Structure 1
């Protein structure tokens, strides 16, 4: 499988850590029980420890679809492919505006993509990686020749699963399952892949469903579609709950094991693109795996881009000349679920 082109489009408004702190203060001053300033000092310390400096939010007048359109058109232009030459459009990730029909159909319709086949795939921050794995399998069946994979992770949109709800703190303890909200950035990506039997990808996955309660966004009353669990949905229906530190603690061993296996098989890997959930944690993972010099971090400047992390990192590196056609690179992801992946491919 060959990546013909990949592009990222991010909103224009930068939010630094101070601005995030100010927003938490604004939305929590009437609800917080305790010393708010002390808690905000802790949030600031945790953001700095994670390596966060800024992230992008939508400015007035910007919409997620503007960035979907920009990323898709840039990718098709770069690949010199007409939109009618796309056989399948897969929309991936958490950020979307529709439960029915699939967001993929709305994207295809808005872009006048005619008769393109469509479906959505949701696997938290693993979504793009899962879609790429599935795409390669489709190519082996020779059903499709070109597949476009699109996502638009805009969790910080007003009224979304993060803001302003998770910026309204009630007590210091809430940070345990809410802090990760303040690391989230926003981006849309578009990745065009085509069949190439001479360029197989190497994949390794593992899962820990017993840790599914560590990160969640639920729709309905708890217990209807799962067992009762007081860790799921702590911030309420349709809002992000994430025990971020526990997620990283449990991700360490499986993630290190997977990337070591990939790197042992293909030591010519030039660059590794991790899920951008924390600079500090992925740097620790990389040091333990012995691949610290290979990691390309985007978290400090752009935050956690959810399922867009790997394609955004790849697009930024590729367009800045840090990697080139013919280089072997790798993706490295730990995700809610929990699931873990390491994989490598040649550009």
Structure 2
């Protein structure tokens, strides 16, 4: 399987850390229990510590499907393929407009990918990585020749799972389950893959389902589909709840353990792409495994763009010349679930 192209579509509105603080202040002032100014200073400190500077959100009149269509059309053009050449289309990630049918069908209809078999993969921030593994496996059977993997991570809309509910802090302690929301950005990505004789991809995965309560967007009636936990729906039903600090700390040994299962010489790696949850965190991890100079960050420019993190970083590296044909690259992801993965491929 060969990665033919990767393209990211970012919305036009730039939201800085200062903007985030202003929004929290505006929505939290009525009824806040505690010292709001001190809490804002804490949020500012956390953002700067993580390496956050800005993120991109949809502006008035912008639609996720339009950004997704443009990214997909550009990716197809770069691959010298037409939409009708795609025989497998997978929609990945959390951001979506439909529970039924999958977002893949609506994307295929919008692109004119009339010959594509469609389905979705939903695995939190791991979604794109899972889709790549599934695609390689399907291509190995000889059933598919050209695949398009897409996502549209747009969750900051008014009345969505994040905004403005999570910007309305009731008390300082609420930061434990809400701070990751302030790092979120928005993006669409499109990745084109073809079944060719090429160096195989290698994937290593690990799961920690005991940590599933740490990051969720629960639906109405969720209680009947899981074991009880006081972490679930801590911010309310339908709203993003993420104990991000605990996830990073608790998941660190598992992230290193899964990386060690991939036998790779760091000196042969041209680029490392990670989940964009924190620039500082992933830089520290990359330094420890000898890939500190290879990591390609987008977090400081895009924020945490969920399952779009790795393909957006790949697109950025290709555009900047940091990833060229014949280079070996690694992906390294930690996700809600919790799950962990590392993968290797030659571009």
More divergent stretch after superposition (25-34 vs 206-215): 25-34
Consecutive unaligned residues in structure 1, runs of 5 or more: none
Answer whether contact 1:222 1:228 (CA < 8 A) is retained: no
C-alpha distance in 1, partners of 2:34/2:215?
26
Give the secondary-structure state (helix, strand or coil) at the position aligned to 1:273.
Answer: strand
User: 1:197 offset after TM fit, Å?
Assistant: 3.4
Matches within 5 A, 1:176-215: 176-215=176-215
Q: Does 1:169 align with 2:175?
A: no
C-alpha distance in 2, partners of 1:256/1:291?
13
User: What does residue 340 of structure 1 align with?
Assistant: 340
User: 1:232 offset after TM fit, Å?
Assistant: 1.1
Q: How many residues matched?
A: 347
Answer whether contact 2:85 2:113 (CA < 8 A) is retained: no
Task: Write out per-residue CA displacement over residues 172-202 of structure 1, whole angstroms, 9 at most, x where no aligned residue.
Answer: 1100010000000110000010112332011
After superposing on structure 2, the runs of 4+ consecutive aligned residues of structure 1 that deviate more than 6 Å are: none
User: What does residue 229 of structure 2 align with?
Assistant: 229
Q: Does 1:123 align with 2:123?
A: yes
Give the secondary-structure state (helix, strand or coil) at the position aligned to 1:293.
Answer: coil
Answer whether contact 1:211 1:338 (CA < 8 A) is retained: yes
C-alpha distance in 2, partners of 1:266/1:202?
15
C-alpha distance in 2, partners of 1:80/1:125?
29
Give the secondary-structure state (helix, strand or coil) at the position aligned to 1:193.
Answer: strand
Matches within 5 A, 1:1-347: 1-262=1-262, 264=264, 267-347=267-347
Give the secondary-structure state (helix, strand or coil) at the position aligned to 1:223.
Answer: helix
- The CA RMSD measured in Å over matched residues stands at 1.2
Q: How does the TM-score come out when normalised to structure 1?
A: 0.97
Alpha carbons of structure 1 residues 282 and 47: separation in structure 2 relative to 1, 3 Å: same
Give the secondary-structure state (helix, strand or coil) at the position aligned to 2:276.
Answer: coil
Give the secondary-structure state (helix, strand or coil) at the position aligned to 1:96.
Answer: coil
C-alpha distance in 1, partners of 2:293/2:77?
33
Give the secondary-structure state (helix, strand or coil) at the position aligned to 1:147.
Answer: strand
Consecutive unaligned residues in structure 2, runs of 5 or more: none
C-alpha distance in 2, partners of 1:112/1:142?
23
C-alpha distance in 2, partners of 1:13/1:125?
23
C-alpha distance in 2, partners of 1:263/1:18?
43
Answer whether contact 1:214 1:242 (CA < 8 A) is retained: yes
C-alpha distance in 2, partners of 1:297/1:115?
36
Give the secondary-structure state (helix, strand or coil) at the position aligned to 1:135.
Answer: helix
Give the secondary-structure state (helix, strand or coil) at the position aligned to 2:233.
Answer: coil
More divergent stretch after superposition (110-119 vs 320-329): 110-119
User: 1:320 offset after TM fit, Å?
Assistant: 1.3
User: 1:265 offset after TM fit, Å?
Assistant: 5.6
Answer whether contact 2:266 2:290 (CA < 8 A) is retained: no
Give the secondary-structure state (helix, strand or coil) at the position aligned to 1:292.
Answer: coil
C-alpha distance in 2, partners of 1:287/1:6?
26
Answer whether contact 2:85 2:115 (CA < 8 A) is retained: no
More divergent stretch after superposition (81-90 vs 292-301): 292-301
